């Protein structure tokens, strides 16, 4: 049971990171649109994409482990 709780927690953490990155992208895009032509180039999207990839793996892995544990727990309830 404890493993499933941690798996769901890690899945929810990954989903929360993805939601935060989504809102970061909205704010960043709005800032770029309002700034107009810049004398210096804006920062790259490499770091947000890397964080989003890690969060996606965390979310998918957490939920997959949680759902696969449901079958195991139900067989031991006898």
Q: Tokens 């895009």 identify what position?
A: 29
**Phi, then psi, of 72 in degrees rounded to 5:** -65, -45
Measured distance between the N- and C-terminal CA atoms of the chain, rounded to whole angstroms? 15
Say how far apart CA 54 and CA 61 lie, in whole Å. Answer: 10
Weakest-pLDDT range from 15-19, 49-53, 68-72: 68-72
Q: The whole model's pTM is what? A: 0.68
The span from the CA of 31 to the CA of 38, in Å, is 11
- What pLDDT is stored for residue 76 in this prediction? 55
How many CB atoms neighbour CB 32 within 10 A? Answer: 11
């Amino acid at each position: 049971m404890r493993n499933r709780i941690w798996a769901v927690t890690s899945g929810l953490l990954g989903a929360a990171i993805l939601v935060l990155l989504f809102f970061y992208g909205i704010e960043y895009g709005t800032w770029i649109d309002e700034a107009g032509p810049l004398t210096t180039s804006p920062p790259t999207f490499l770091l947000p994409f890397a964080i989003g990839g890690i969060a996606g793996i965390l979310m998918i892995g957490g939920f997959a482990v949680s759902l696969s544990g449901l079958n195991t727990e139900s067989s031991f309830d006898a």
